């Protein structure tokens, strides 16, 4: 069991790793962490060279880091093939017949790919790409469900030096067009469809619709996931090719050629404040080193672990912590195609029990949904195989942390609450499970080589418990290299606030022990009567109330206070809502944060507008409270009825 101690200054519980866990962990004590952290900050070249040497290089680098702000080059002169570190090396280190990916489809079918089988599949698909005329640095779009073929396609692109750009399978044809135009892709890899809550998502049809507007695609390679009856597709002669038919015509052998350490590996699009997606560019050597090292130390990956990250490969979490980091570590991982609540909220826990998952990495949004669904789902499954839990995507509120620790981790599993971004490539702030004392709600301390700080508007570091801008003061291997095709936007977005310092766009504070508390996006900070309030703080206070399952907070213009606070609240099942309850919740927030944080309005709603990956679309809530309508692309919404229900409530 992890030991819980009371922090007298805050009244919060501090959880210390269990001695049995620490004894076998890679980082066993805070003294070891501090020693390694100091070296990583003072001598980053030496520190990261040690980590990089554990990967497979065809030519060693001459210099670890070349830095001229805001441009970094890591492992200068080094040559590698990323795919060799993720796949080929395991054929000769005793893992050839070890399971690399254990996959389960939403309908329930399963497959296991060993590292040897994965190697054969990747080599075959690399040869398919070459036969289609794809060359190094060509851009290839991947738009697929959560199947092993999505990972195979990414690795095959890396193997031949093509630059992949994965689009989340929940995005619309319109979103595909935007991305195709920006990166000028030459080919698309897709599937006939994928399963989501028992329904077929027509991926190939969405691609066809996108290609009515974007005419430069030379080939579309289609994996048959569903079968023709459930997902009939139209194949355009000379442009569209079935994956399995092409595989029958090429060799399953392919020699991995070396590429420069700074060779582009992938472009991943993330939303920007202007509405135009930003193509975040990551390169080979530094990115792989960052994802490899964070997997090794933060997830404490051991050779007998069964690891499961529940993200989609269309997001950075799926890139770093499904495709690249875990495979470079030679771990066995579970991959699941469908929704966490299909056929019910027991599905994730069924998979943990069935495959004896030992490391589980998911989002706070999912955890809150599980809380709302009821404890009987996890309580009726055997979760004793779990030894480590992780969270990603947003700050986890303390109430959800405690439930996760108790109901899923059985009070024995350390929790790594990880802060990072698409732009950072790898985890930046997180506990190390064998040594870091954790308090629910804080991402704790920076990872090795991460010089994180919180600055005020003048560039001065703020004092304990003072809010400010979260920044990184030194380059790190997995950092983005630019925004694809837009160096000016890259400089303006990330490097303009303070000379030579990366601005994350998140607000944060540090407590007296140096732990980082992320308060949310700076554009999610409200200014109420001159007081800056993070929406995440108000949401966390609401969710700490025993009746609340989930909440989302946005600002609306207020003629006296500047901004008023509007809260949307989902209560736990079986709870009746009322005006009295709304008043009680207002007082509760006032008690936790202060009277200034009391919501002006509270709307009770059975569901919040979310993307299929579970992110709350606060942009839509802001538009609803401001104008009563929503505009822009809402095709990623999981359930469109949520919007009409909220509109009706707001009208009343």
Rounded Cα gap, residues 372 and 554, in angstroms: 22
Report the candidate in 304, 440, 420 with the shortest Cα–Cα distance to residue 430: 420
Q: Is residue 569 within 8 Å of residue 551, measured between CB atoms?
A: yes
For residue 413, pLDDT beyond 70: yes
Rounded Cα gap, residues 595 and 587, in angstroms: 8
Q: Is residue 382 within 8 Å of residue 427, measured between CB atoms?
A: no
Report the candidate in 235, 232, 240, 230 with the shortest Cα–Cα distance to residue 195: 230
Enter the CATH code of domain 1-42+418-523: 2.30.38.10
- Residue keyed to tokens 């509760």: 588
Report the candidate in 320, 313, 334 with the shortest Cα–Cα distance to residue 152: 313
How many angstroms separate the most distant Cα atoms in the chain? Answer: 71
* Gyration radius from the chain CA atoms: 24
At residue 6, the pLDDT reads 43
For residue 394, report the phi and psi dihedrals to the nearest 5 degrees: -165, 165
Rounded Cα gap, residues 611 and 636, in angstroms: 5
Residue boundaries of the structural domains of the chain: 1-42+418-523, 112-260, 529-651
pLDDT tens string 136-174:
999 999 999 999 999 999 999 999 999 999 998 877 787
pLDDT tens string 533-551:
778 888 988 999 999 999 9
pLDDT tens string 501-545:
999 999 999 999 999 999 877 877 777 876 667 788 889 889 999
Mean pLDDT of 592-596: 78
pLDDT tens string 329-364:
999 999 999 999 999 999 999 999 999 999 999 998
For residue 534, report the phi and psi dihedrals to the nearest 5 degrees: -75, 130
* pLDDT band, residue 632 (cuts 50/70/90): low
User: Domain 529-651 is classified in which CATH homologous superfamily?
Assistant: ANL, C-terminal domain (3.30.300.30)
Rounded Cα gap, residues 300 and 335, in angstroms: 19
| Domain covering 112-260 assigned CATH 3.10.580.10 in the classification | no
pLDDT tens string 372-383:
899 999 999 999
Rounded Cα gap, residues 94 and 103, in angstroms: 22
Rounded Cα gap, residues 479 and 447, in angstroms: 14
- Omega before 70 cis (within 30°)? yes
Q: Which segments of 167-232 are extended strands (E)?
A: 187-191, 194-196, 199-201, 219-223
Rounded Cα gap, residues 267 and 484, in angstroms: 7
Report the candidate in 3, 1, 5 with the shortest Cα–Cα distance to residue 513: 5
Neighbouring C-beta atoms of residue 247, cutoff 10 Å: 16
């Amino acid at each position: 069991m992890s030991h819980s101690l009371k922090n007298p200054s805050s009244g919060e519980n501090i959880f210390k790793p269990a001695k049995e866990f620490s004894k076998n962990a890679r980082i066993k004590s805070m003294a070891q962490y501090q020693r390694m952290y100091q070296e990583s900050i003072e001598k980053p070249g030496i520190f990261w060279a040690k980590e990089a040497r554990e990967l497979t290089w065809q030519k060693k680098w001459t210099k670890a880091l070349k830095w001229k702000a805001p441009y970094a080059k890591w492992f200068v002169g080094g040559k590698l093939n990323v795919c060799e570190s993720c796949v080929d090396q395991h054929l000769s280190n005793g893992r050839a017949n070890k399971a690399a990916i254990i996959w389960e489809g939403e309908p329930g079918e399963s497959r296991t790919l060993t590292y040897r089988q994965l190697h054969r599949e990747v080599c075959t698909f690399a040869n398919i790409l070459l036969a289609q005329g794809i060359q190094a640095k060509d851009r290839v779009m991947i738009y697929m469900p959560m199947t092993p073929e999505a990972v195979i396609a990414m690795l095959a692109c890396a193997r031949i030096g093509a630059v992949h750009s994965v689009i989340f399978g929940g995005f619309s044809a319109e979103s595909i067009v935007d991305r195709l135009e920006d990166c000028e892709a030459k080919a698309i890899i897709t599937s006939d469809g994928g399963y989501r809550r028992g329904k077929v998502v027509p991926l190939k049809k969405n691609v066809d619709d996108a290609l009515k507007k974007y005419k430069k695609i030379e080939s579309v390679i289609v994996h048959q996931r569903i079968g023709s009856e459930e997902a009939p597709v139209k194949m355009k002669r000379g442009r569209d090719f079935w994956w399995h038919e092409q595989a029958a015509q090429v060799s399953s052998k392919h020699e991995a050629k070396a590429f420069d350490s700074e060779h582009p590996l992938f472009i991943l699009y993330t939303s920007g404040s202007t509405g135009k997606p930003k193509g975040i560019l990551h390169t080979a050597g530094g990115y792989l080193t960052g994802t490899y090292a964070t997997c090794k130390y933060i997830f404490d990956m051991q050779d007998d672990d069964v690891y499961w990250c529940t993200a989609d490969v269309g997001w950075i979490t799926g890139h770093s912590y499904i495709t690249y980091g875990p495979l470079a570590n030679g771990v066995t991982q579970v991959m699941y195609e469908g929704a966490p609540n299909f056929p019910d909220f027991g599905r994730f826990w069924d998979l943990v029990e069935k495959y004896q998952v030992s490391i589980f990495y998911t989002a706070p949004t999912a955890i809150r949904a599980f809380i709302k669904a009821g404890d009987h789902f996890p309580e009726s499954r055997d979760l004793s195989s779990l030894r480590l839990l992780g969270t990603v995507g947003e700050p986890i509120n303390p109430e959800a942390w405690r439930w996760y620790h108790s109901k899923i981790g059985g009070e024995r599993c350390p929790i790594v609450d990880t802060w990072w971004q698409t732009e950072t490539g790898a985890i930046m702030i997180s506990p190390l499970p064998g040594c870091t004392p954790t308090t629910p709600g804080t991402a704790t301390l920076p990872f090795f080589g991460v010089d994180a700080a919180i600055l005020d508007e003048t560039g001065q570091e703020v004092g304990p418990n003072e809010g400010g801008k979260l920044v990184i003061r030194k380059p790190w291997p997995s950092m983005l290299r630019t925004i694809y095709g837009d160096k000016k936007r890259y400089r303006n977005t990330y490097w303009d606030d303070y000379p030579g310092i990366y601005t994350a766009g998140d607000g944060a504070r540090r407590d007296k022990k140096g732990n980082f508390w992320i308060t949310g996006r700076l554009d999610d900070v409200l200014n109420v009567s001159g007081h800056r309030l993070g929406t995440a703080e108000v949401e966390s206070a609401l969710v700490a109330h025993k009746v609340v399952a989930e909440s989302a907070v946005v600002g609306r213009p207020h003629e006296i206070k500047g901004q008023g606070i509007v809260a949307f609240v989902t209560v736990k099942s079986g709870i009746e809502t009322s005006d009295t309850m709304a008043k009680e919740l207002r007082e509760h927030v006032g008690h936790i944060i202060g009277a200034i944080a009391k919501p002006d309005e509270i709307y009770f709603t059975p569901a919040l507008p979310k993307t299929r990956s579970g992110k709350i679309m606060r942009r839509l809530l802001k538009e609803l409270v401001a104008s009563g309508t929503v505009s822009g692309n809402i095709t990623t919404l999981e359930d469109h009825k949520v919007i009409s229900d909220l509109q009706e409530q707001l009208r009343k």
